[in-house]
Every structure is written in structure tokens, then in C-alpha cells.
Amino acid sequence: MENRPTVVDLFCGAGGLSEGFRQAGYQVLLGSDIDPTFGETFTRSHHGARFLARPIQSLSSAEILTQTGLVRGELDVLVGGPPCQGYSVYNHGRGEHDPRAGLFREYLRIVRDLAPKWLVMENVTGLLSISGGQLIKTICSEISGLGYAVEWRVLRAEDYGVPQERRRVV
């Protein structure tokens, strides 16, 4: 394995979040997404990375460790953005009752099992207003309960050279 910090990307899609880490010098080892059509783009964009096409509920940490050659506690950064549809203000039926809104717990299951040094989770700003702000408090509390310090903020893509207005909770 190369001597660069390592990244695994859950809910990776075509790999946009991990692409930022790649550009910053990280080695992207693996991505996983429910939609197998993203796999070709992900692996072509992240040379040497593996892609696992399956729902996160059926993804095991043991498989991630086997596929990456890492041991528990060795991964530098676990990144991921659970599906935004459960949080988006454009989904008028959004809320904690939407099954997608609870997928962050599957991400945290993987965090617990892999024990990465860092984790980065991102999503739409609609996440902040669900249940009067209680959902973001729950997510932060559960991350803290795993032994991580939590800091979040809203980032504006245009502040980083992206030619569009896009807000994300990171």
C-alpha cells in the first residue's frame, strides 16, 4: 500500500466526495453504493480503488477490511453522505419516518466496527431542521458516543471555486 492517508467512501455515488480527498493527496481504497451503475465511474476515477455495489445494510466491516487490506483502527478517514432525499426540503414528506433518514446509523455501525481515525459525513442543509433540529443533535450525540469529537458547519460550495450555489452540512 502506498504511504498516503487512506479513505473509504460510503454512499459514494460516482465518488465526488472521495475525489476531493484524492485531490488532497489521499489514497481512495474503496467505495460502496447501492447503485451498481456508479461503480465504473468510481473505479475509473479512483485508480486502484474497489467498488462494492450493495445496500449499506448488507455491507460488513469485515468485508471492507478484507477488500482494503486494513485492520481495525488503521483507516485514516471514513467519508460518506447518506441519501439526502430523507432530509431534503424538496421532499415534502421528509422526516425521521423516511427510512432513508435513518441510514446514518448504518454509517455509524461501520464507524464503530472500523474505528477510523477521522470521519466526515455530509448532507443537505434540510438535515438541520428535521424534528426541530433534533436529528442533527442525535447524529452528533451518537458520533460522540463512539468516542469522536464532533464539529459541524454549513459549507458553501461557491466559497471553494464550485460554479454553483450549493450548501452542505459537513
- What tens digit of pLDDT does each residue of 117-136 get? 999 999 878 888 777 888 89
Active-site positions?
84
Distance CA 146, CA 158 (A): 33
Q: What is the structure's pLDDT at 44?
A: 94
pTM, two decimal places: 0.89
Q: Where are the beta strands (DSSP E) in 48-135?
A: 50-53, 77-80, 118-121
Percent with pLDDT over 70 in the chain: 87
156 half-sphere exposure, CB direction, 13 A CA radius: 3
Task: Say if residue 21 is exposed, middle or buried (CB neighbours under 10 Å; 0-12, 13-18, 19+).
Answer: buried
CA-nearest of 111, 165, 114, 166 to 143 is 111
